[in-house]
Amino acid sequence: MSGRPQRETIEIVVNGRPLQAPPGTLQALVDSQSLSAVKVATAVNGHFVAASRRATTLLQPGDRVEIVSPRQGG
Amino acid sequence: MTGWRLSPRVKAADGPRLKLVEDYKMNPHEKTLQRQSGLDLYGTVVPSRMLLGTAGYPSPAILGAAVRSSGAAVVTVSLRRETAGGGSGQRFFDLVQDLGVNVLPNTAGCRSAREAITTAEMAREVFNTDWIKLEVIGNDDTLQPDVFGLVEAAGVLCREGFKVFPYTTEDLSVAERLQRAGCKVIMPWGAPIGTGQGISNRRALESLRAYFPGVSLIVDAGIGAPSHAAEAMELGFDAVLLNTAVAKAGDPVRMAQAFSEAISAGRLGFEAGLMPPRDMAVPSTPVAGTPFFDLE
């Protein structure tokens, strides 16, 4: 890949908002959001991705990622 | 279900009224509950028949105090998008853990079976429970359940091993399909969420109770006053789930206690067997021996 810019990014949608992110795994995205130590669950394109699978889930351009955490509810 | 009678009052419409209390036979499920005086949720028996929502309280401290004063052993929780840096979700999670109660995550806001299924899967991981309050909303104004999506999602989730608590309408055939899908708890609405209108369709709820003696039935939503909750319990429902009526009360902590006592009283009244209503007045004091009875 020499000669190509190293700062290549892909556009994904995280919690409904567009985000330019470096290509990588779902776990890397969670880490980049400073959520590694927080209790969160994730889904990509409407499908649940277990915490144990985040590190092997590669994000693709256009992926829609949900990162959720506990809240009050009725 | 031979031998089952909903309550003296339901029987009253069909036959002679005076022997109703003597005739009343509890089914085995109900006898068990009476003996345990607890609520059966997929084999987990909890001491309180009040389930409390955690949303909309003036402060986390008041939420905690309200849960404690209610005696509720089950509280509902939710999942929402977390912002970068986060922390609010974790704080709420810690608060609920400190309360030492069972959590029942919901799928509030989901508008399709697919959304609800994914939310349930996320909730199972975050809250470490296979209980899920399944909501699939079909209408923004009434927050009416989309019962088609509900039945579809319930089937999938039951097969995935979830213990599903479906929020539904009073519709009997929908409840049948939910039961067939594997639901052992069914939660019909009293009235639309957040309205506080109480039991809007009493007859339908009575029918539901009569048809599903072996299912834990919980009136969920629309409860506005302790008397509404007592009414649901007097109808023979196993429990009441409410949120707004406590959270938005002038004093949520005292209101939580008021609901708790009303629910206990309603349950006790149901177990004791309510007298059937009568069309005409009947003197409670014996007529025989009434002084001056022979005068004019």
Q: Is residue A2, in this structure, part of any structural domain at all? A: no
DSSP B51-100: EEE-SS-S-HHHHHHHHHHHT-SEEEEEEEEPPTT--HHHHHHHHHHHHT
Spatial distance between the Cα atoms of A22 and B248, rounded to a whole number of angstroms:
45
Residue B78 contacts A where some CB pair is shorter than 8 Å? yes
Q: What are phi and psi of A34, to 5 degrees?
A: 60, 40
Among chain B residues, CA nearest to A74: B53
Q: How far is CA B243 from CA B73, B87, B256, in A?
A: 14, 24, 9
Domains: count for chain A: 1
Which CATH number characterizes residue A38's domain?
Answer: 3.10.20.30
Q: What is the pLDDT of residue A5?
A: 53
Q: Are A72 and B76 in contact (CB under 8 A)?
A: no
Q: Model confidence over B204-249: pLDDT tens digits?
A: 999 999 999 999 999 999 999 999 999 999 999 999 999 999 999 9
Residues of chain B with pLDDT under 50: 1-24, 26-27, 29-30, 32-36
Q: Which residue has the tokens 């607890």?
A: B38
Chosen from A44, A54, A68 to mutate, greatest number of chain B CBs within 10 A: A68
Q: Is residue A74, in this structure, part of any structural domain at all? A: no
pTM listed for this prediction: 0.86
Q: Is residue A3, in this structure, part of any structural domain at all? A: no
Spatial distance between the Cα atoms of B170 and B206, rounded to a whole number of angstroms:
9
Q: Is residue A5, in this structure, part of any structural domain at all? A: no
Q: Is residue A1, in this structure, part of any structural domain at all? A: no
Q: What is the pLDDT of residue B12?
A: 34
Interface touch B89/A47, C-beta < 8 Å: no
Taking one residue from A and the other from B, the number of pairs with CB-CB distance under 8 angstroms is 118
3-state helix, strand, coil in chain B (%, to 5): 40, 15, 40
Exposure string of B95-124, with b = 16+ CB inside 10 Å and e = fewer, is bbeebebbbbbbbbbbebbbbbbbbbbbbb
Residue A64 contacts B where some CB pair is shorter than 8 Å? no
Name the residue facing A40 among B82, B105, B244 (closest C-beta): B82
Active site residue B184: no
Q: Is residue A20, in this structure, part of any structural domain at all? A: yes
Q: Model confidence over B245-286: pLDDT tens digits?
A: 999 999 999 999 999 999 999 999 999 999 999 999 998 998
Residue A34 contacts B where some CB pair is shorter than 8 Å? yes
Q: Is residue A38, in this structure, part of any structural domain at all? A: yes
Q: Is residue A41, in this structure, part of any structural domain at all? A: yes
Q: What range does the domain containing A63 cover?
A: 10-68
Q: Are A64 and A12 in contact (CB under 8 A)?
A: yes
Interface touch A39/B79, C-beta < 8 Å: no
